[in-house]
Structure 1
């Protein structure tokens, strides 16, 4: 009788308008991997004041499991491939016990808040800290560190400047082999895309791999400066831990 292959669970904890979707597309190219797109989104919307201004919120609540504890049990019981990649937004982690994170590798994905806010505000015009996740990411990192749960921090700009090097390091930290197929994919959507993809994923759908990093030169909106000044010191703390 053959021995079952142990399942490696990777929990991505990203901020919005990061490279989280591109990372999901990257991992979907592995033959040993299944990916899942923001399984806690409906749980978050059902408990957050963000529900009225999130695109497709009612459809998300109809199509997805609203009970976060059931979603957690799903993530811990799902099988089918040696590697499972769960793309999540850190700010979706409200009203949940985080102890389940001990049962997987936790990947915190962050981005310079100036660039993130410029992008995010094009879809949600007046974001607050609870929308963008920096405070929650720092809280999460401290929780993982204190409890000695496995984690790694990835920073978007550093990743895009050398995707292969960063992917190799990430795979090593996750104790899985690097697969060169992760560097490219066909343009268009994935079957695993969430029902919100038409609002957020246009750039990824046009892409065939990680896009080259280019600095955003547009003027930063004055109304976003207070939030930027809240996010920046938290980002710098996260950056100190990054690959």
Structure 2
């Protein structure tokens, strides 16, 4: 089985990669199109130079890597907004698609702590909703996951047609060997973790009401189709 997991940034996507990566029957891949996305768009991201030097930015080469049949099950972590014109999607034709969502207020607050300037394209709610409309798949709200990790992972595994494994509930601190080089900037908190944190509590107040208003309709539409707790 090949699971292609889509999200925007700050959606617990790395924790989910660690969860599947801790299973003995899964290998994982971390944002393989990141460098290609930066090269195609010219956008300035933290550690841009290091990413372009460390990861292939040839879309065809990366697509071939993603399309390869794994020796065991695989879980590929992807960002929806990386799929810009010039980056193919046919490599994912036979995969099972999983979309991770999180309330926009939490995403905006978390992303804003790492990067000063934020646009709707950065948090990718429109991009992810558009991608879901195109390819379908399962949707998991990570708030439900944090409320009940065991229960929601068991439900997800049942939907995927695989057995739930207790090893998904925890992982070693310090990161995963599959981490991209950008982990030094983005993964500080999850590197300290050994499992999913508890419920998130009240929504944070955000200064960017424009971003919140732009993202909410896309989040609400996907939330209505998510796996129920």
Which TM-score band applies after superposition, normalised by the shorter structure?
over 0.9
1:85 is aligned to 75
State the superposition RMSD in angstroms. Answer: 1.4
After TM superposition, the structure 1 = structure 2 runs for residues 1-243 of structure 1, keeping only pairs within 5 Å, are: 8-50=1-43, 52=44, 54-81=45-72, 83-95=73-85, 96-145=87-136, 151-216=137-202, 218-221=204-207, 224-243=208-227
C-alpha distance after superposition, 1:11-50 (max 9, x if no partner): 0101101110000110111111101111010011111243
Contact 1:115–1:216 (8 Å) recurs in 2 = no
SS of residue paired to 2:196: coil
C-alpha distance after superposition, 1:106-133 (max 9, x if no partner): 1111110001000101112221121111
C-alpha distance after superposition, 1:45-83 (max 9, x if no partner): 111243x2x1111111111110222211111114222x1
Paired with 2:213 and 2:41, the residues of 1 have a C-alpha distance of 23
Q: Which moved more, 1:67-76 or 1:115-124?
A: 67-76
Q: Give ranges in structure 2 of 5+ residues lacking alignment.
A: none
Paired with 2:205 and 2:68, the residues of 1 have a C-alpha distance of 46
Label 1:216 to 1:196 Cα distance change in 2 as closer, same or farther (>3 A).
farther
Contact 2:59–2:88 (8 Å) recurs in 1 = no
Larger Rg computed on CA atoms: 1
Paired with 2:25 and 2:18, the residues of 1 have a C-alpha distance of 14
SS of residue paired to 2:2: strand
Offset of residue 185 of structure 1: 1.1
Q: Which moved more, 1:109-118 or 1:41-50?
A: 41-50
Paired with 1:219 and 1:171, the residues of 2 have a C-alpha distance of 34
Paired with 1:68 and 1:132, the residues of 2 have a C-alpha distance of 22
Paired with 2:202 and 2:183, the residues of 1 have a C-alpha distance of 23
Runs of 4+ in 1 over 4 A off after TM superposition: none
Offset of residue 136 of structure 1: 0.9
Contact 2:4–2:95 (8 Å) recurs in 1 = yes
SS of residue paired to 2:167: helix
C-alpha distance after superposition, 1:144-194 (max 9, x if no partner): 24xxxxx10011111111111111121122222111110011211211111
